Structure 1
Amino acid sequence: MTIRVATYSETQKILKYAPAVLKEATVGYYEPRRDIARQLASSFLIGGGYYIVYTENNVIQGWVGVGEIFDNYSSEKIGFIPEIYVMPNDRKKGIADKLCKEVFRKLKESGHKKVQLNVFSGNHAKDLYHKLGFQDISTIMEKGLDGDDL
């Protein structure tokens, strides 16, 4: 087992999974198009983000995207996790937990005091995030405007 920063080649492989990752992460709220999913996944890379991978026998079993955002409320740069994914056959082995702890270590080492992520309502991964110490700080609410109830 190895946890490390993804190579360029590994990052390209990860980006091929972008539609599947987005579909699963949004728990049915969106049916992602390949181009949009890839654009979302690569946008944090352009800003200096990167992936941390968990590999066994040189096979990627999971990854976490690591980036940085500016928090307008606290006026500080904070770590941001845009994506956490473990391959379906490798789930329930503690891989996401190990990956996240490595990300926390790296972010702390680089001077960050906080890390945030977004999670869609109904995503079962929210239980893991709570176990890792994440707390709910905001809720985005939505209402469709296509009905007659205006």
Structure 2
Amino acid sequence: MSIRRATRIETQTIWNYSFTVFNEATMGYGKLTSDKVLQMAASFLHNGGYYLVHHENDMIQGWIGVGKTVDHYNNEMAGFIFEIYVLPLFRKRGIAEKLCEAAFRQLSAEGLHKVQLNVFAGNRAKHLYQKLGFQEVSSLMEKRISY
């Protein structure tokens, strides 16, 4: 088992899962086309983001998308987790936690002091993030209206 930066070919493989990852992460809330989801991923990479992959026996088992962002509330640079995904066959093995820890080390080595992510209400991954020390900072709330 090892975790390392994804190659160009591995990034292409990850992109093949983009629509599935988006739908799982947004808990069905997101209603984008697969082309729009790919545009979002391309923008993340274009802005300096990258993937770390967890692989064993030459097989990718999961990945984490890592980048940087400006925390607009205090004008501080922060690491940002764009996405994290473990293929269903390899879940419940601690891979997501290992990927997060690798991302934390990488972002720290890049001189960052905090990392942020966005998680949708009801996403089971929120429990992992809390276990890893993430704290809720804000909540986006909405109400449908029609008059």
Letter in 1 for 2:87: M
Taking structure 1 as the reference length, the TM-score comes to 0.95
CA distance in 2 between counterparts of 1:124 and 1:41 reads 22
Kept in 2, the 8 Å contact 1:66–1:81? The answer is yes
Q: Write the distance in 1 (CA, Å) between the matches of 2:62 and 2:32.
A: 20
Q: C-alpha displacement at 1:40, in angstroms? A: 1.4
Greater than 4 Å deviation, 4+ residue runs: none
Alignment of 1:54-93 (within 5 A): 54-93=54-93
The alignment yields a C-alpha RMSD, in angstroms, of 0.9
Superposed counterparts of 1:1-150, under 5 Å: 1-145=1-145, 147-148=146-147
AA at the equivalent of 1:59: M
CA-to-partner distance for each residue in 1:60-101, whole Å, 9 max, x for gaps? Answer: 000000000011211111100010000001000000000100
Corresponding residue SS for 1:128 = helix
Question: Which has the larger displacement, 116-125 or 22-31?
Answer: 22-31
Provide structure 2 residue ranges, at least 5 long, that are not aligned to the other structure: none
Unaligned runs of 5+ in 1: none
TM-score relative to the length of structure 2: 0.97
SS in 2 for 1:136: coil
